[in-house]
Structure 1
């Protein structure tokens, strides 16, 4: 499916973790998944240059499920507000694992970035993650009401961002001006071309993804709901303009390409960024892989262009 091989720098970085583990995602507890992600981030950000932001504050948002921890990164002269949901298969990740990502996003776009520590599986099944993301967006909209408001996220966080945009459209608010979806999970179709082509990894296998999707989207509350998986929406018309970022060697690639086409067909302006030499999760190891670093710059350039094109209501 992809004639361009994985960047050798990516292969070298992943080799630092040793041979692939014989255990599957289903063999691990939630805490083991979380510890594994924390360890991976330590490797991915080793010796990374610090990224300064004018002001950083940890706060709490009052959500329908209780207090939601958020970290707010504020530049001196903000251009916009971006609400960011971290990746981690709805099980792992937090504000700390993505601190370097959100710092860079704020620095390079001039946005106030609100990083959301949403509730996760298995302790808090759907709709808890989406509810927290939605409630955080409502709160963030009051921070700088005169500036564009964007939802963003990577992987599972990209799924949440897309679902919040759908929900806001269908529930007539909050106002969301743009969405930034970095290799998001779109649906639970495990038989797409990319699912079959990249079924054995390198970072996550098809069977691992089957487990994560089963945990997230297989119980009654999620069945058929576009607020769980955005690919289930019958129409994408009326959604805010989007940046969709796709990794070349990724199980999710086919569904993401289809979602981008559907957005365009339904009249939504879309910028598609395809990084053919990269794998799922590249935003986390941009500090150590030059091609991922360049992809991050392309991403923030696209976000800056999107912010510049957003038309706010009078």
Structure 2
């Protein structure tokens, strides 16, 4: 493990999602201690029409270069607009893109397809209201962290299938893509920091409920990946999700989709939040630089 990250592993909460309300409270308390720099950003909250409406928070840099519909992580169970604010604001500042952070419905109270439908509705709304929002409809990306990245990839698949909106790029950071947990990392990383095999099992059980997994729930199940938007995929070395992210990148490449893949050595799932570590600084900076280039 990266020597700058290792001392912080004991500070992360237990890898357990058996009590979702308690897990949400812990995440909110941890995130509240992270400094947020919103310098140069115009921040606006809106509601995307629907049943129910979907809350979003828009971060607009000056002279914004494109936009991204951005989805927080949290194992489908945790996270909201406030817990994601440090990362959404950082991404907006580093990329120069308008970041549209989405408060999709959380499991287990709202299992699949609730979150997927919220995000899909948001993508359609952003594309349809691009002029009103001051966006170029040809320069809209989608992405997220962890479970949010998994939802982003699945929504990109649905958009392709239904040809419903232009998505230019996918920014997938440590994505959770496969409920089956059949990769080497999913099988062997049973006790890694913050995310373990057991926690991943809980995450998918909460998200799927009694519904059998489909490609729109777990995009690794999709058989045809051709025609999807170009993608950037980042994985952490000591993470159960690592190999499914790498395999998905390879499958996209084999389907003719341009992909940039970065496997960050010495890191674990969520370690990018340790801002004092040099490798975390590079990870966060790279997300912004990649998005800036993709939308230019």
Q: Are residues 1:164 and 2:155 paired?
A: yes
Deviation by residue 1:80-113 (Cα, 9 ceiling, x = unmatched):
0100000001110111111010111111111111
Q: For 1:8-47, what aligned pairs fall within 5 Å after superposition?
A: 8-17=3-12, 21=14, 24-26=16-18, 28=19, 30-43=20-33, 45=34
- Residue of structure 1 aligned with 2:234, choices 245, 248, 253: 245
Task: Encode CA deviations 1:236-291: one digit per residue, 9 max, x unaligned.
Answer: 000000011111111001111100000000000001111111111134x1433321
Q: Secondary structure at the match of 2:83?
A: coil
Q: Confirm or deny that 1:297 pairs with 2:285.
A: yes
SS at match of 1:77: coil
Residue 205 of structure 2 is aligned to residue 214 of structure 1: yes
Within the alignment, does 1:56 sit opposite 2:56 as a pair? no
Instruction: Supply the distance in 2 between the matched residues of 1:303 and 1:277 (Cα, whole angstroms).
Output: 24
Partners of 2:123 and 2:73 lie apart in 1 by: 17
Q: Deviations over 1:64-86 (max 9, x none)?
A: x2111100011121110100000
User: For the Cα contact (< 8 Å) 2:36–2:86, is it kept in 1?
Assistant: no
| Structure 1, unpaired ranges of 5+ | 1-5, 309-314
Aligned twin of 1:76: 62
Q: Distance in 2 between matches of 1:138 and 1:146?
A: 11
Q: Distance in 1 between matches of 2:105 and 2:11?
A: 31
Find the aligned partners of 1:186 and 1:264 in 2 and give their Cα distance.
16
Kindly report the root-mean-square deviation, in angstroms, between the aligned alpha carbons of the 2 structures.
1.7
Taking the TM superposition and a 5 Å limit, the aligned residue runs for 1:143-292 are: 143=130, 144-220=135-211, 223-283=212-272, 285-292=273-280
* Cα distance in 1 between the residues matched to 2:189 and 2:29: 24
Which of residues 39, 59, 71 in structure 2 aligns to 1:85?
71
- Are positions 1:115 and 2:107 aligned together? no
Give the unaligned 5+ runs of structure 2.
none
Tell me by how many angstroms 1:218 deviates: 4.8
Q: Is the 8 A contact 1:246 1:256 kept in 2?
A: yes
